Chains A and B, each alone.
Chain A
Amino acid sequence: MNAIRQWFGERLPISPDQVLEVLDEPVPNHLKRWWFCLGGTPAYLFVVQIFTGILLAFYYQPAQTTAYESVRFITTEAAYGWYFRGVHKWAATLMIASVVLHQMRVYFTGAYRKPRELNWMIGMCLLLCTLVIGFTGYSLVYEQLSYWGATVAANICDTVPVVGGLAKRMLLAGDAYNTETVSRFFILHAAVLPASMIFLLAIHIGLIRMQGITEFRFEDEPVQDKQHFPFFPDHFYTELIMGLVLMILLSVLATVLPVTMGPRADPLVTPDVIKPEWFFYATFRWLKLFSGTFAVLSMGLIVFIMFVWPFIDGWIRRYTRFAEASVWIGIVGASLIIGLTVWEAAVQH
C-alpha cells in the first residue's frame, strides 16, 4: 500500500491528505435534516441520467425515420431496455422536481443572499438547462405528443420579437420540423446540455466549497460546542443512503409505472388533446391565458427577475422596511406556479 502511495506521490504534486482536506468540508449541523439533501439529490440523479442515457444511446437512432422504431426496440426487445428507459424517464421527473424543491429551499431560507448571489445565478442556469434537457429528451421519442410539443415550442420561440425567428430556425434546423430536427435535439440533449451542466455544476459546487454552506440554527436545536460535522464520512454516508433510496424508488417507479409509447408522430394530424410534460404545464396554461407575444415576454421577464432576485431582495431589505418581503413574494409565486400546473393538469383544453 505504501509503495503505491509512494509511486503516485512521486508523480502527482498532491498528497492524499491534501485531497482529503479539499473534500473534508465542515458541514453545519442543520444539514443533518433530510430536506437539506435536496441539493445532492439532483446531482445524484444527474449521474444516473448520464449513465442510463449512455446506455440508451447505444441503441437510439436519432433520425426521423428511425427514432420511434429504435425507442420501441429499446422498450420492448432489448434486454432490460424497459427498465433503463423507465429509470431514465423517472429520474428526469424526480430531477426536475428536486431541483425545483432545492431552489425553493434556498429561496425561503434566504441562502442566496450576499455573498452567494453568483451561485444563485449559476443555479438558475442549471434550472433552465434541466428544463430544456427534459424538453429535448421528451422530443426524442418522436411520438405524436413529443412531435407536436416540439412544434408548439418552436412556434413559441417565433413569437419573441426580433430574435424569435432565428431561435426557431436554430431549434428546428429549418423553418419547420424536418429530417435534421431529431438529430439536432439529440446533440443538444446528449452532448451540449450535459457538458454545459457539468461545467455549471463544477462552478456551483466549487463556489459552495469556497464560500461554505450557509449557517442556520433552528430553534429546537440544542446548543452544542461543535457547530459542524465532517463531510467525510458523516455527510458522505447520508448521501450514500440517499442514493440507494433513490435507486430503489426509481426501480419501483420504472416497474410499477413503466414507460409507454404513444402513436408514432404524424406531421399531418395534430392530436385532439395536446399537452407538454408536466413541468411545462404552468407555462402552457400561461400561454393559453394571454396573447402569444405578451405571454412569452412576461415569462421572459419572470425568469429575468428570478435571475437577479438576490439583488432586488438586497435593495428591498436595504431601502424599505419590508425585510421579509421575499417570503411573501415567494409564497405568491410558488402558489401561482402550483395553481397553474394543477389547473392545466385538471382540464383537457
Chain B
Amino acid sequence: MNSSERAAAGDSTTGTAAGDRRSFFSLVAMGLGLTGAYGTFAAMAARFLYPAKPPDRRWMYVASVTEFAHGGGVLFSAPNGQAISVTRLTANGTVEDFIALSSICPHLGCKVHWETQNKRFFCPCHNGAFNVEGISTAGPPFDAKQNLARFPLKVENGNLFIEVAVA
C-alpha cells in the first residue's frame, strides 16, 4: 500500500507525516536557496567594501651611503607623510649596517623622538621607550611586546634605497 492508498484508506496519520516531511524539506531547500543567493550577494558586497588594493609600495632613494657617518642618521619623509628614521649602526659595508624605523609608536600611534643622551626612542604619550634597533624597552609597548615597524632597505651602486608606501 503506498502513501496515497494509505491516505485514501483513512490512514490520516501517515498522510500527515508525509505532508509534514515534504513541507519540512521544501522549507529547508528554500532556506538554503535564499541563504546561498543572498549570502553570495552579501559576501560580494563585503569584498567590494574591503579596500580595493594594498597601498602601492616602491623603492625610493634615501641618500648616498657615504653621507652616513657611523651612528649617524637621516629622517626620511615618505610620500604618504610618514617620517622614517634611517640610521647607520655599523660599518661593515653592507645593507645590514643600516636600519630604518617608523617614527610612529605601535602603542597608540603617537610620534617617537630620538633621545641622544639616553640612546633611545621615546614616546611622550605613555612613556614608551625603544632601543636603537626599535625593540621596546619600557612602557606599554614593552608590556605588549610591540616594536617600532622596520622598513626594507637595499644598497645599489653605493646608494641607499628604502621600500615605502607611496599612496
B48 touches A55 (CB 8 A): yes
Instruction: Name the interface residues of A49-105: CB closer than 8 Å to any CB of B.
Output: 51, 55, 58-59, 73, 77-81, 83-84
Q: Is B41 engaged at the interface, CB distance under 8 Å to the other chain?
A: yes
Residues of A within 8 A of B52 (CB): 59, 73, 77-79, 81
**Interface SS of chain A: helix, strand, loop or mixed?**
helix
Q: Is B17 engaged at the interface, CB distance under 8 Å to the other chain?
A: no
How far, in whole Å, are A78 and B48 apart by their CA atoms in the complex?
A: 6
Instruction: Name the interface residues of B23-59: CB closer than 8 Å to any CB of A.
Output: 30, 33-34, 37-38, 41, 44-45, 47-50, 52-53
A84 touches B48 (CB 8 A): yes
B44 touches A244 (CB 8 A): no
Residues of B within 8 A of A244 (CB): 33-34, 37
Count of B interface residues, CB-CB < 8 Å:
14
Count of A interface residues, CB-CB < 8 Å:
15
B34 touches A58 (CB 8 A): no
In the complex, what's the smallest C-beta–C-beta distance from B1 to chain A, in angstroms?
A: 32
How far, in whole Å, are A312 and B50 apart by their CA atoms in the complex?
A: 55
Of A73, A77, A84, A240, which contacts B45 at CB under 8 A?
A84
How far, in whole Å, are A244 and B32 apart by their CA atoms in the complex?
A: 13
Residues of B within 8 A of A58 (CB): 48-49
Q: Is A193 engaged at the interface, CB distance under 8 Å to the other chain?
A: no
Q: Is A247 engaged at the interface, CB distance under 8 Å to the other chain?
A: yes
How far, in whole Å, are A84 and B50 apart by their CA atoms in the complex?
A: 14
B34 touches A80 (CB 8 A): no
Contacts A55-B45, A78-B48 supplied; 8 other A-B pairs, CB < 8 Å:
A55-B49, A73-B52, A77-B52, A79-B44, A79-B50, A80-B44, A81-B48, A84-B44
B residues at A contact (CB < 8 Å): 30, 33-34, 37-38, 41, 44-45, 47-50, 52-53
A-B contacts, 26 of them at CB < 8 A, read: A51-B45, A55-B45, A55-B48, A58-B49, A59-B52, A73-B52, A77-B52, A77-B53, A78-B48, A78-B52, A79-B47, A79-B50, A79-B52, A80-B44, A80-B45, A80-B47, A81-B52, A83-B44, A84-B45, A84-B48, A240-B30, A240-B34, A244-B33, A244-B34, A244-B37, A247-B37
A residues at B contact (CB < 8 Å): 51, 55, 58-59, 73, 77-81, 83-84, 240, 244, 247
